[in-house]
Chain A
Amino acid sequence: MLLFLEIGRYCRLLYEALRSVTETHTYRENLFAEMVKTGIGSLGISMLAGSFTGAVLTLQTSYQLTSSFVDRSAIGAIVSQSMLVELSAMVTALVLSGRVGARIATELGTMRVSEQIDALESMGFNSVTFLVVPRVLAGILMFPIIYLAAAAAGVIGGNLAGMLTGVLTSAEFMEGARAYFFPWDVAFGMIKSFVFGFVITSISCYKGYFATGGAEGVGKATTNATVLSCIYILLADFILATILL
Protein backbone atom coordinates (compact mmCIF):
# COMPACT_ATOMS: atom_id res chain seq x y z
CA MET A 1 0.00 0.00 0.00
CA LEU A 2 2.79 2.38 0.99
CA LEU A 3 4.64 1.52 -2.23
CA PHE A 4 1.61 2.49 -4.35
CA LEU A 5 1.31 5.74 -2.39
CA GLU A 6 4.99 6.50 -3.04
CA ILE A 7 4.69 5.70 -6.76
CA GLY A 8 1.56 7.82 -6.98
CA ARG A 9 3.22 10.81 -5.30
CA TYR A 10 6.34 10.42 -7.46
CA CYS A 11 4.24 10.34 -10.66
CA ARG A 12 2.21 13.32 -9.43
CA LEU A 13 5.38 15.31 -8.81
CA LEU A 14 6.69 14.47 -12.29
CA TYR A 15 3.33 15.39 -13.81
CA GLU A 16 3.41 18.75 -12.01
CA ALA A 17 6.97 19.30 -13.23
CA LEU A 18 6.10 18.37 -16.81
CA ARG A 19 3.01 20.60 -16.78
CA SER A 20 4.99 23.62 -15.70
CA VAL A 21 8.07 23.09 -17.86
CA THR A 22 6.96 25.91 -20.18
CA GLU A 23 7.18 28.48 -17.33
CA THR A 24 10.82 29.11 -18.21
CA HIS A 25 10.89 32.59 -16.66
CA THR A 26 10.41 30.98 -13.22
CA TYR A 27 13.33 28.56 -13.38
CA ARG A 28 15.69 29.97 -16.02
CA GLU A 29 18.19 31.34 -13.51
CA ASN A 30 18.01 28.23 -11.36
CA LEU A 31 18.53 26.04 -14.41
CA PHE A 32 21.84 27.68 -15.29
CA ALA A 33 22.99 27.48 -11.68
CA GLU A 34 22.02 23.80 -11.51
CA MET A 35 23.73 23.03 -14.84
CA VAL A 36 26.93 24.48 -13.44
CA LYS A 37 26.61 22.62 -10.12
CA THR A 38 25.60 19.30 -11.71
CA GLY A 39 27.73 19.49 -14.83
CA ILE A 40 30.87 21.52 -14.27
CA GLY A 41 31.02 20.58 -10.60
CA SER A 42 30.90 16.85 -11.43
CA LEU A 43 33.33 16.79 -14.34
CA GLY A 44 36.45 16.32 -12.20
CA ILE A 45 35.25 13.35 -10.15
CA SER A 46 33.60 11.74 -13.20
CA MET A 47 36.74 12.01 -15.33
CA LEU A 48 38.84 10.71 -12.46
CA ALA A 49 36.51 7.73 -12.01
CA GLY A 50 36.48 7.15 -15.78
CA SER A 51 40.26 7.32 -16.19
CA PHE A 52 40.96 4.88 -13.35
CA THR A 53 38.27 2.50 -14.60
CA GLY A 54 39.88 2.58 -18.05
CA ALA A 55 43.35 2.05 -16.57
CA VAL A 56 42.29 -0.91 -14.43
CA LEU A 57 40.33 -2.41 -17.32
CA THR A 58 43.43 -2.30 -19.53
CA LEU A 59 45.52 -4.11 -16.93
CA GLN A 60 42.81 -6.69 -16.21
CA THR A 61 42.17 -7.37 -19.89
CA SER A 62 45.89 -7.81 -20.44
CA TYR A 63 46.02 -10.22 -17.49
CA GLN A 64 43.13 -12.26 -18.90
CA LEU A 65 44.29 -12.28 -22.53
CA THR A 66 47.23 -14.62 -22.06
CA SER A 67 47.04 -16.26 -25.49
CA SER A 68 49.76 -15.20 -27.93
CA PHE A 69 47.27 -15.75 -30.80
CA VAL A 70 45.31 -12.70 -29.76
CA ASP A 71 46.67 -9.41 -31.05
CA ARG A 72 47.52 -6.89 -28.27
CA SER A 73 45.42 -4.26 -30.05
CA ALA A 74 42.37 -6.26 -28.91
CA ILE A 75 42.97 -4.78 -25.47
CA GLY A 76 42.38 -1.29 -26.89
CA ALA A 77 39.23 -2.49 -28.63
CA ILE A 78 37.84 -4.13 -25.49
CA VAL A 79 38.68 -1.23 -23.18
CA SER A 80 37.39 1.56 -25.41
CA GLN A 81 34.20 -0.29 -26.33
CA SER A 82 33.52 -1.26 -22.72
CA MET A 83 34.03 2.32 -21.64
CA LEU A 84 31.73 3.72 -24.33
CA VAL A 85 28.94 1.16 -24.07
CA GLU A 86 28.78 0.48 -20.36
CA LEU A 87 31.38 1.56 -17.88
CA SER A 88 31.56 5.33 -18.36
CA ALA A 89 27.80 5.79 -18.08
CA MET A 90 27.44 3.33 -15.21
CA VAL A 91 30.44 4.41 -13.11
CA THR A 92 29.57 8.08 -13.63
CA ALA A 93 25.95 7.48 -12.64
CA LEU A 94 26.88 5.58 -9.48
CA VAL A 95 29.39 8.23 -8.44
CA LEU A 96 26.95 11.04 -9.20
CA SER A 97 24.05 9.40 -7.38
CA GLY A 98 26.13 10.24 -4.31
CA ARG A 99 27.45 13.59 -5.41
CA VAL A 100 24.45 15.07 -7.22
CA GLY A 101 21.59 12.99 -5.81
CA ALA A 102 22.60 13.46 -2.18
CA ARG A 103 23.06 17.20 -2.70
CA ILE A 104 19.63 17.60 -4.28
CA ALA A 105 17.85 15.53 -1.62
CA THR A 106 19.62 17.42 1.18
CA GLU A 107 18.92 20.84 -0.32
CA LEU A 108 15.23 20.21 -0.91
CA GLY A 109 14.81 18.28 2.34
CA THR A 110 16.30 21.14 4.34
CA MET A 111 14.10 23.61 2.47
CA ARG A 112 11.07 21.46 3.28
CA VAL A 113 11.71 21.04 7.01
CA SER A 114 12.72 24.70 7.48
CA GLU A 115 9.48 25.79 5.75
CA GLN A 116 11.30 27.44 2.84
CA ILE A 117 9.14 25.46 0.38
CA ASP A 118 6.02 26.63 2.25
CA ALA A 119 7.40 30.17 2.04
CA LEU A 120 7.77 29.84 -1.74
CA GLU A 121 4.23 28.51 -2.10
CA SER A 122 2.79 31.17 0.19
CA MET A 123 4.35 33.91 -1.97
CA GLY A 124 2.52 32.48 -4.97
CA PHE A 125 5.32 30.44 -6.53
CA ASN A 126 4.84 26.98 -7.92
CA SER A 127 7.58 25.33 -5.86
CA VAL A 128 7.79 22.36 -8.23
CA THR A 129 8.53 24.66 -11.16
CA PHE A 130 11.01 26.60 -9.15
CA LEU A 131 12.88 23.74 -7.49
CA VAL A 132 12.24 20.42 -9.23
CA VAL A 133 12.11 21.36 -12.93
CA PRO A 134 15.56 23.03 -13.12
CA ARG A 135 17.23 20.19 -11.19
CA VAL A 136 15.77 17.43 -13.36
CA LEU A 137 16.43 19.37 -16.57
CA ALA A 138 20.02 20.05 -15.51
CA GLY A 139 20.46 16.32 -14.85
CA ILE A 140 19.18 15.14 -18.21
CA LEU A 141 21.07 17.85 -20.10
CA MET A 142 24.41 17.54 -18.31
CA PHE A 143 24.75 13.78 -17.69
CA PRO A 144 25.36 12.96 -21.40
CA ILE A 145 28.12 15.60 -21.47
CA ILE A 146 29.65 14.21 -18.29
CA TYR A 147 29.44 10.75 -19.84
CA LEU A 148 31.38 11.91 -22.93
CA ALA A 149 34.09 13.45 -20.74
CA ALA A 150 34.31 10.33 -18.56
CA ALA A 151 34.44 8.05 -21.61
CA ALA A 152 37.24 10.12 -23.16
CA ALA A 153 39.10 10.07 -19.83
CA GLY A 154 38.58 6.28 -19.64
CA VAL A 155 40.09 5.67 -23.08
CA ILE A 156 42.99 7.99 -22.34
CA GLY A 157 43.48 6.38 -18.90
CA GLY A 158 43.44 2.90 -20.43
CA ASN A 159 45.88 3.94 -23.12
CA LEU A 160 48.25 5.54 -20.60
CA ALA A 161 48.08 2.56 -18.22
CA GLY A 162 48.93 0.17 -21.06
CA MET A 163 51.79 2.37 -22.22
CA LEU A 164 53.28 3.05 -18.77
CA THR A 165 53.18 -0.58 -17.66
CA GLY A 166 54.52 -1.83 -21.00
CA VAL A 167 51.46 -4.01 -21.69
CA LEU A 168 50.97 -2.49 -25.15
CA THR A 169 51.98 0.59 -27.08
CA SER A 170 49.78 3.59 -27.58
CA ALA A 171 49.62 2.85 -31.31
CA GLU A 172 48.42 -0.73 -30.63
CA PHE A 173 45.79 0.54 -28.20
CA MET A 174 44.47 3.15 -30.63
CA GLU A 175 44.51 0.70 -33.54
CA GLY A 176 42.15 -1.61 -31.62
CA ALA A 177 40.04 1.27 -30.39
CA ARG A 178 39.59 2.66 -33.91
CA ALA A 179 38.87 -0.72 -35.47
CA TYR A 180 36.00 -1.40 -33.11
CA PHE A 181 34.62 2.12 -32.81
CA PHE A 182 30.93 2.30 -33.72
CA PRO A 183 29.06 5.62 -33.43
CA TRP A 184 26.02 3.76 -32.08
CA ASP A 185 28.05 2.84 -28.98
CA VAL A 186 28.44 6.53 -28.17
CA ALA A 187 24.76 7.18 -28.89
CA PHE A 188 23.81 4.25 -26.65
CA GLY A 189 26.01 5.58 -23.84
CA MET A 190 24.46 9.02 -24.20
CA ILE A 191 20.92 7.62 -24.11
CA LYS A 192 21.83 5.70 -20.98
CA SER A 193 23.35 8.70 -19.25
CA PHE A 194 20.31 10.77 -20.22
CA VAL A 195 18.08 8.19 -18.51
CA PHE A 196 20.42 7.90 -15.52
CA GLY A 197 20.41 11.70 -15.15
CA PHE A 198 16.63 11.65 -15.07
CA VAL A 199 16.52 8.73 -12.60
CA ILE A 200 18.98 10.31 -10.14
CA THR A 201 17.59 13.85 -10.18
CA SER A 202 13.90 12.92 -10.18
CA ILE A 203 14.23 10.40 -7.33
CA SER A 204 16.39 12.80 -5.30
CA CYS A 205 13.97 15.68 -5.89
CA TYR A 206 11.07 13.47 -4.85
CA LYS A 207 12.77 12.28 -1.67
CA GLY A 208 13.91 15.77 -0.69
CA TYR A 209 10.67 17.53 -1.63
CA PHE A 210 8.59 15.23 0.59
CA ALA A 211 11.09 14.97 3.46
CA THR A 212 9.60 15.19 6.94
CA GLY A 213 10.84 15.29 10.51
CA GLY A 214 13.79 17.65 10.92
CA ALA A 215 17.46 16.76 10.55
CA GLU A 216 16.82 13.05 10.92
CA GLY A 217 14.19 13.20 8.19
CA VAL A 218 16.58 14.99 5.84
CA GLY A 219 19.26 12.37 6.54
CA LYS A 220 16.79 9.59 5.83
CA ALA A 221 15.65 11.28 2.62
CA THR A 222 19.24 11.65 1.46
CA THR A 223 20.10 8.02 2.20
CA ASN A 224 16.95 6.78 0.49
CA ALA A 225 17.59 8.99 -2.52
CA THR A 226 21.10 7.62 -2.97
CA VAL A 227 20.16 3.97 -2.42
CA LEU A 228 17.06 4.12 -4.63
CA SER A 229 18.98 5.95 -7.36
CA CYS A 230 21.60 3.18 -7.42
CA ILE A 231 18.95 0.46 -7.57
CA TYR A 232 17.01 2.13 -10.38
CA ILE A 233 20.19 2.89 -12.31
CA LEU A 234 21.04 -0.83 -12.33
CA LEU A 235 17.48 -1.69 -13.34
CA ALA A 236 17.37 0.96 -16.07
CA ASP A 237 20.76 -0.23 -17.35
CA PHE A 238 19.43 -3.76 -17.75
CA ILE A 239 16.22 -2.62 -19.44
CA LEU A 240 18.06 -0.33 -21.87
CA ALA A 241 20.57 -3.06 -22.75
CA THR A 242 17.69 -5.46 -23.39
CA ILE A 243 15.84 -3.01 -25.61
CA LEU A 244 18.61 -1.21 -27.46
CA LEU A 245 21.43 -3.73 -27.92
Chain B
Amino acid sequence: MIEIRNLSKSFGPHLVWKDVNLTITDGESLAVLGKSGSGKSVLMKHLNALLYPDTGDVRLDGENIFALSYARLRLARQQFGVLFQGAALFDSIDTFENVAFPLRYFTKMSQAEIRDRVEECLGMVNLKDAGHKATSELSGGMRKRVGLARAIVMQPRYLLYDEPTSGLDPVTSDEINDLILHLSKSLNITSIVISHDMHSVLRVADKAAFLDDQKLSWYGTVDEMRKADHPKLREFIKASEYRI
Protein backbone atom coordinates (compact mmCIF):
# COMPACT_ATOMS: atom_id res chain seq x y z
CA MET B 1 0.00 0.00 0.00
CA ILE B 2 1.20 3.51 -0.80
CA GLU B 3 0.17 6.36 1.48
CA ILE B 4 0.87 9.94 0.48
CA ARG B 5 0.72 12.21 3.51
CA ASN B 6 0.67 16.04 3.45
CA LEU B 7 2.98 16.16 0.45
CA SER B 8 4.01 19.62 -0.77
CA LYS B 9 6.43 20.50 -3.53
CA SER B 10 7.71 23.68 -5.07
CA PHE B 11 10.48 24.48 -7.54
CA GLY B 12 12.03 27.72 -6.36
CA PRO B 13 9.21 30.24 -5.89
CA HIS B 14 6.77 28.14 -7.97
CA LEU B 15 4.45 26.01 -5.86
CA VAL B 16 3.47 22.81 -7.67
CA TRP B 17 0.96 21.52 -5.10
CA LYS B 18 0.58 21.38 -1.33
CA ASP B 19 -0.88 19.05 1.27
CA VAL B 20 -1.62 16.17 -1.07
CA ASN B 21 -3.09 13.18 0.78
CA LEU B 22 -3.83 9.95 -1.05
CA THR B 23 -3.92 6.23 -0.31
CA ILE B 24 -3.34 3.65 -3.04
CA THR B 25 -4.31 0.15 -1.95
CA ASP B 26 -2.77 -2.99 -3.42
CA GLY B 27 -4.28 -4.17 -6.68
CA GLU B 28 -6.13 -0.97 -7.52
CA SER B 29 -5.66 1.20 -10.61
CA LEU B 30 -5.48 4.88 -9.88
CA ALA B 31 -5.49 7.56 -12.54
CA VAL B 32 -3.98 10.94 -11.72
CA LEU B 33 -5.64 13.61 -13.84
CA GLY B 34 -4.92 17.25 -14.38
CA LYS B 35 -4.07 19.86 -16.94
CA SER B 36 -0.57 20.14 -18.37
CA GLY B 37 1.68 21.69 -15.73
CA SER B 38 -0.53 20.63 -12.82
CA GLY B 39 2.30 18.48 -11.43
CA LYS B 40 1.07 14.98 -12.28
CA SER B 41 4.49 13.70 -13.34
CA VAL B 42 6.09 15.47 -10.39
CA LEU B 43 3.72 13.58 -8.08
CA MET B 44 4.57 10.30 -9.80
CA LYS B 45 8.30 10.90 -9.34
CA HIS B 46 7.74 11.27 -5.59
CA LEU B 47 6.28 7.78 -5.32
CA ASN B 48 9.68 6.15 -5.89
CA ALA B 49 11.68 9.12 -4.58
CA LEU B 50 13.07 10.29 -7.90
CA LEU B 51 12.09 13.68 -6.49
CA TYR B 52 11.98 14.73 -2.85
CA PRO B 53 9.19 16.90 -1.40
CA ASP B 54 9.45 20.11 0.59
CA THR B 55 7.27 18.59 3.30
CA GLY B 56 5.25 15.41 3.82
CA ASP B 57 6.05 11.79 3.13
CA VAL B 58 5.23 8.78 0.99
CA ARG B 59 4.81 5.56 2.95
CA LEU B 60 5.40 2.26 1.27
CA ASP B 61 3.82 -0.42 3.46
CA GLY B 62 4.12 2.00 6.35
CA GLU B 63 7.76 2.95 5.72
CA ASN B 64 8.60 6.54 4.77
CA ILE B 65 10.46 6.22 1.47
CA PHE B 66 12.22 9.57 1.89
CA ALA B 67 13.78 8.47 5.18
CA LEU B 68 15.42 5.36 3.70
CA SER B 69 19.18 5.14 3.21
CA TYR B 70 20.19 5.23 -0.45
CA ALA B 71 20.99 1.49 -0.40
CA ARG B 72 17.53 0.64 0.97
CA LEU B 73 15.86 3.14 -1.34
CA ARG B 74 17.39 1.34 -4.33
CA LEU B 75 15.85 -1.91 -3.09
CA ALA B 76 12.50 -0.19 -2.53
CA ARG B 77 12.61 1.23 -6.07
CA GLN B 78 12.82 -2.30 -7.44
CA GLN B 79 9.21 -2.77 -6.34
CA PHE B 80 8.24 -0.20 -8.99
CA GLY B 81 8.14 -0.52 -12.73
CA VAL B 82 7.99 2.81 -14.55
CA LEU B 83 6.83 3.59 -18.06
CA PHE B 84 8.21 7.04 -18.78
CA GLN B 85 6.48 9.49 -21.09
CA GLY B 86 9.05 9.07 -23.88
CA ALA B 87 9.70 5.43 -22.83
CA ALA B 88 13.31 6.39 -21.81
CA LEU B 89 14.82 3.44 -23.66
CA PHE B 90 18.60 3.21 -23.65
CA ASP B 91 19.56 4.07 -27.21
CA SER B 92 23.01 2.47 -27.06
CA ILE B 93 21.54 -1.04 -26.85
CA ASP B 94 18.86 -2.91 -28.82
CA THR B 95 15.31 -3.71 -27.80
CA PHE B 96 16.12 -7.12 -26.32
CA GLU B 97 18.95 -5.72 -24.20
CA ASN B 98 16.75 -2.86 -22.99
CA VAL B 99 14.29 -5.35 -21.56
CA ALA B 100 17.04 -7.67 -20.29
CA PHE B 101 18.94 -4.78 -18.68
CA PRO B 102 17.68 -5.02 -15.07
CA LEU B 103 17.76 -8.83 -15.17
CA ARG B 104 21.48 -8.83 -16.00
CA TYR B 105 22.37 -6.65 -13.04
CA PHE B 106 19.86 -7.58 -10.36
CA THR B 107 19.28 -11.30 -10.81
CA LYS B 108 21.44 -14.39 -11.03
CA MET B 109 19.46 -15.72 -14.00
CA SER B 110 21.32 -17.71 -16.64
CA GLN B 111 21.54 -16.48 -20.22
CA ALA B 112 18.77 -18.90 -21.26
CA GLU B 113 16.51 -17.83 -18.40
CA ILE B 114 17.03 -14.17 -19.28
CA ARG B 115 16.21 -14.88 -22.92
CA ASP B 116 13.02 -16.72 -21.93
CA ARG B 117 11.89 -13.99 -19.56
CA VAL B 118 12.59 -11.20 -22.07
CA GLU B 119 10.73 -13.07 -24.81
CA GLU B 120 7.84 -13.65 -22.43
CA CYS B 121 7.63 -9.92 -21.64
CA LEU B 122 8.02 -8.87 -25.27
CA GLY B 123 5.28 -11.40 -26.08
CA MET B 124 2.97 -9.79 -23.50
CA VAL B 125 3.31 -6.47 -25.32
CA ASN B 126 2.98 -8.12 -28.76
CA LEU B 127 6.57 -7.46 -29.80
CA LYS B 128 8.02 -10.95 -29.70
CA ASP B 129 9.92 -10.51 -32.97
CA ALA B 130 11.25 -7.02 -32.30
CA GLY B 131 14.07 -7.96 -29.93
CA HIS B 132 16.84 -7.46 -32.47
CA LYS B 133 15.67 -3.98 -33.48
CA ALA B 134 17.60 -0.86 -32.54
CA THR B 135 15.49 1.52 -30.47
CA SER B 136 15.82 4.13 -33.23
CA GLU B 137 13.92 1.79 -35.56
CA LEU B 138 10.89 1.64 -33.25
CA SER B 139 7.73 3.70 -33.74
CA GLY B 140 6.24 5.73 -30.86
CA GLY B 141 3.79 2.99 -29.95
CA MET B 142 6.45 0.30 -30.13
CA ARG B 143 8.76 2.33 -27.90
CA LYS B 144 6.01 2.58 -25.28
CA ARG B 145 5.40 -1.14 -25.48
CA VAL B 146 9.11 -1.93 -25.11
CA GLY B 147 9.18 0.49 -22.16
CA LEU B 148 6.28 -1.43 -20.70
CA ALA B 149 8.02 -4.78 -21.23
CA ARG B 150 11.09 -3.40 -19.45
CA ALA B 151 8.89 -2.07 -16.63
CA ILE B 152 7.32 -5.49 -15.94
CA VAL B 153 10.37 -7.68 -16.49
CA MET B 154 11.34 -7.63 -12.80
CA GLN B 155 7.75 -8.44 -11.75
CA PRO B 156 7.14 -5.21 -9.82
CA ARG B 157 4.34 -4.68 -7.31
CA TYR B 158 3.57 -1.21 -8.64
CA LEU B 159 3.51 0.11 -12.18
CA LEU B 160 3.74 3.82 -12.79
CA TYR B 161 2.63 5.02 -16.21
CA ASP B 162 3.50 8.57 -17.22
CA GLU B 163 1.18 9.63 -20.05
CA PRO B 164 1.13 6.13 -21.59
CA THR B 165 -0.98 7.17 -24.59
CA SER B 166 0.32 10.68 -25.27
CA GLY B 167 1.43 11.25 -28.86
CA LEU B 168 -0.11 8.00 -30.09
CA ASP B 169 -2.86 7.48 -32.65
CA PRO B 170 -6.26 6.26 -31.29
CA VAL B 171 -5.75 2.65 -32.37
CA THR B 172 -2.30 2.37 -30.77
CA SER B 173 -3.64 4.20 -27.68
CA ASP B 174 -6.33 1.54 -27.36
CA GLU B 175 -3.72 -1.19 -27.67
CA ILE B 176 -1.72 0.38 -24.85
CA ASN B 177 -4.86 0.76 -22.72
CA ASP B 178 -5.69 -2.92 -23.28
CA LEU B 179 -2.17 -3.82 -22.23
CA ILE B 180 -2.40 -1.78 -19.03
CA LEU B 181 -5.72 -3.36 -18.21
CA HIS B 182 -4.43 -6.84 -18.97
CA LEU B 183 -1.28 -6.37 -16.89
CA SER B 184 -3.08 -5.02 -13.86
CA LYS B 185 -5.70 -7.77 -13.92
CA SER B 186 -3.59 -10.77 -14.94
CA LEU B 187 -0.48 -9.90 -12.91
CA ASN B 188 -2.41 -8.19 -10.08
CA ILE B 189 -0.13 -5.16 -10.26
CA THR B 190 -1.10 -1.89 -8.59
CA SER B 191 -1.21 0.71 -11.35
CA ILE B 192 -0.84 4.46 -11.12
CA VAL B 193 -1.58 6.10 -14.46
CA ILE B 194 -0.69 9.73 -15.05
CA SER B 195 -2.82 11.00 -17.88
CA HIS B 196 -4.99 13.73 -19.31
CA ASP B 197 -6.51 11.30 -21.79
CA MET B 198 -10.02 10.70 -20.37
CA HIS B 199 -10.65 7.87 -22.77
CA SER B 200 -7.66 6.03 -21.33
CA VAL B 201 -8.61 6.86 -17.73
CA LEU B 202 -12.18 5.58 -18.10
CA ARG B 203 -10.87 2.39 -19.61
CA VAL B 204 -8.05 1.44 -17.22
CA ALA B 205 -8.70 3.08 -13.85
CA ASP B 206 -10.78 2.10 -10.81
CA LYS B 207 -10.15 5.39 -9.04
CA ALA B 208 -9.15 8.88 -10.08
CA ALA B 209 -7.40 11.82 -8.45
CA PHE B 210 -7.70 15.28 -9.98
CA LEU B 211 -4.89 17.77 -9.48
CA ASP B 212 -5.91 21.38 -9.93
CA ASP B 213 -5.28 24.76 -8.37
CA GLN B 214 -2.05 23.53 -6.73
CA LYS B 215 -3.79 20.84 -4.69
CA LEU B 216 -5.53 17.49 -4.90
CA SER B 217 -8.86 18.88 -5.93
CA TRP B 218 -10.96 15.74 -6.22
CA TYR B 219 -10.59 12.02 -5.45
CA GLY B 220 -13.01 9.12 -5.90
CA THR B 221 -13.95 6.14 -8.00
CA VAL B 222 -14.29 6.42 -11.75
CA ASP B 223 -18.05 5.86 -11.44
CA GLU B 224 -18.25 8.72 -8.95
CA MET B 225 -16.18 10.86 -11.30
CA ARG B 226 -18.76 10.52 -14.06
CA LYS B 227 -21.38 12.04 -11.73
CA ALA B 228 -19.13 14.46 -9.83
CA ASP B 229 -20.38 18.03 -9.52
CA HIS B 230 -16.86 19.48 -9.25
CA PRO B 231 -16.96 22.31 -11.85
CA LYS B 232 -13.36 22.11 -13.02
CA LEU B 233 -13.40 18.33 -13.16
CA ARG B 234 -16.60 18.43 -15.18
CA GLU B 235 -15.04 21.01 -17.48
CA PHE B 236 -11.97 18.78 -17.84
CA ILE B 237 -14.08 15.70 -18.66
CA LYS B 238 -16.28 17.64 -21.06
CA ALA B 239 -13.31 19.09 -22.93
CA SER B 240 -11.83 15.60 -23.26
CA GLU B 241 -15.12 14.21 -24.59
CA TYR B 242 -15.23 16.88 -27.28
CA ARG B 243 -11.78 15.82 -28.33
CA ILE B 244 -12.87 12.19 -28.48
Contact = CB atoms under 8 A, between A and B. Distances in A.
A26 B101 CA distance: 12
Interface in A97-118: 114-116, 118
Interface of B: 45, 48, 50, 70, 74-75, 77-78, 80, 82, 84-86, 88-91, 101-102, 105-106, 154
Nearest to B50: A118
For A25, A26, A119, which residue has the most chain B Cβ atoms within 10 angstroms? A119
Interface residues of A, number: 13
Contacts of A125: 74, 105
A229 B65 CA distance: 37
Contacts of A121: 50, 77
B82 A119 contact: yes
Nearest to A117: B88
Contacts of B101: 123
Contacts of A183: none
A116 B74 CA distance: 16
A122 interface: yes
Nearest to A122: B82
B50 A122 contact: yes
B106 A118 contact: no
Contacts of A122: 48, 50, 77, 80, 82
A166 interface: no
Contact of B88 (A25, A116, A126): A116
B86 A115 contact: yes
Contacts of B48: 122
Contacts of A118: 45, 50, 82, 84, 88
B106 A126 contact: no
A122 B80 CA distance: 7
Given A114-B86, A123-B78, A123-B106, 12 more contacts: A114-B88, A115-B86, A116-B91, A118-B84, A119-B82, A119-B90, A121-B50, A122-B77, A122-B80, A123-B101, A124-B74, A125-B105
Nearest to B84: A115
A124 B91 CA distance: 19
Nearest to B41: A115
Interface string A8-40: 000000000000000001100000000000000
B124 to A, nearest CB: 18
A26 B80 contact: no
Contacts of A115: 84-86, 88
A124 B106 contact: yes
A62 to B, nearest CB: 48
Interface in A121-165: 121-126
A40 B85 CA distance: 37
A38 to B, nearest CB: 15
B88 A123 contact: no
A118 B91 CA distance: 14
Contact of A119 (B70, B75, B78, B84): B84
Contact of B70 (A26, A114, A126): A126
Leading 6 A-B pairs by shortest Cβ distance: A119-B88, A115-B88, A124-B78, A124-B74, A122-B82, A115-B84
